[in-house]
Amino acid sequence: MQMLDTLTVLLTDRLGPLAPVYAIGVIGVAMIALTLPALLRRRPDPLDKLRQQTREMKAATVREPSTALRQSSQADKLDRFADFLEPQDDAEFSAVRMKLMQAGYRSKSSVRVYYFAQLTLGIGLLLVGLIFAVVKHSTTGASTTNMILTVLIPGAAGYYLPKYWVSRRVQERQESITNGFPDSLDMMLVCVEAGQSLDQSIIRVAKEMRAGFPHLADEYEIVAHEIKAGKDKVQVLKDMADRCGVTDVSSFVTVLVQSQTFGTSIAEALRVYAAEMRDKRVMRAEEKANKLPTKLTLGTMMFTVPPLLIALIGPSIHSIYETLSGSSF
């Protein structure tokens, strides 16, 4: 700390009162300059030739805008920065992609938009903090430590804000799926026992669950469309479990896969599993009810015990005080 103060005094004597701000700016520019070569370095991609051929075919093909199958969006403008915004490691890219899908962001450019939001908010709030630090130093003469914290804290908050937003979205979506899953199983059981196939039951459940649980209805619709497209049913169900990220859905997928593998009745498997899901929902409600008294203990002690003590002991303390005051005279 003494070395930092000495360096601050030395810079202030040579460059003036804004010398710490200049030093912070130089350090920031140097860090960006050291980071950019590593970020901009492009790893050789074996699919470059195929992509080049695809771009040439698209450029050679003339199509009317009204007949285009896929309309361009604002996020497509980030395609040119894909190598800069997307992780080059396949495992990291898959993990981020899966987390965004669990949050409900399934578009092709969701990973690019996510990293673009982190970059933009981080740099933007960093500049806002720098401007605020300059203004604060010119008016009040804040210390170097306070100025550094004023600059770095907004930048870190802007960088981690998209990550916090996605985590909250994942949590809310999983909670919604968990709450609506037992009802969807009961409805699916009714449809199967009425004579419909599993594919028709999924379509019906997706339509009926739309009003109350839209996230769960979206997952069922994706399953129905993928099955219609000819994708393997087992793989479709496993993909649904990965997208949801809920233990109950994963167990349900395992039950259906085992039922299909061993040739047992799907209606019987659904009946047993639906009853288990109803019991689990009741147990979750009882667990929350049992936690409520513990959570209310602190509030009860803070807002009930002090007024009660004042009402019970206050008159006695006042009488004792008056007695001692009278006896002193």
Q: pLDDT tens across 96-119, in order? A: 888 888 888 888 788 888 888 888
Alpha carbons 156 and 282: distance in angstroms, whole number: 42
Q: What is the CATH number of domain 172-286?
A: 1.20.81
Could you give the angle at the alpha carbon of 194 between the alpha carbons of 188 and 198, nearest 5°? Answer: 45
Alpha carbons 36 and 212: distance in angstroms, whole number: 47
Per-residue DSSP letter, 46 = T
Provide CB contacts within 8 A for 237, sequence distance 6+: 223, 253, 256, 257
Other residues' Cβ atoms within 10 Å of the Cβ of residue 278: 14
Alpha carbons 35 and 33: distance in angstroms, whole number: 6
Alpha carbons 177 and 241: distance in angstroms, whole number: 11
| Amino acid residing at 280 | K
Provide CB contacts within 8 A for 189, sequence distance 6+: 267, 270, 271, 274
Alpha carbons 64 and 74: distance in angstroms, whole number: 20
| Amino acid residing at 99 | K
Question: What pLDDT, on the 0 to 100 scale, is given for residue 66?
Answer: 37
**Residue 263 phi, psi (nearest 5):** 75, 25
Find out whether 157 and 125 touch, Cβ atoms under 8 Å: yes
Instruction: Write down the pTM of the prediction.
Output: 0.64
CA 314 to chain centre: 52
Where helices occur in the chain by DSSP H, the ranges are 2-15, 19-40, 48-60, 82-85, 90-102, 110-140, 144-193, 198-208, 214-228, 233-244, 247-262, 266-303, 305-328
Provide CB contacts within 8 A for 215, sequence distance 6+: 104, 173, 176, 177, 180
pLDDT tens track, the chain, 329 positions: 566 667 666 666 666 666 666 677 777 667 676 666 655 555 555 555 566 666 666 555 433 333 333 444 555 566 666 666 677 777 888 888 888 888 888 887 888 888 888 888 988 888 888 888 888 777 776 677 777 888 888 888 888 999 999 999 999 999 999 888 888 988 998 998 888 888 888 899 999 888 888 899 999 999 999 988 888 888 888 888 888 888 888 888 888 888 878 878 888 888 888 888 888 888 988 888 888 888 888 888 888 888 888 888 888 888 888 888 766 54
Determine the 3-state secondary structure of 197 from DSSP: coil
Place of tokens 């479709």: 236
Alpha carbons 97 and 114: distance in angstroms, whole number: 10
Q: Among candidates 277, 221, 275, which has minimal Cα distance to 246?
A: 277
Q: Among candidates 227, 229, 226, 221, which has minimal Cα distance to 205?
A: 221
Alpha carbons 146 and 143: distance in angstroms, whole number: 5
Domain parsing of the chain, residue ranges:
2-39+80-171, 172-286
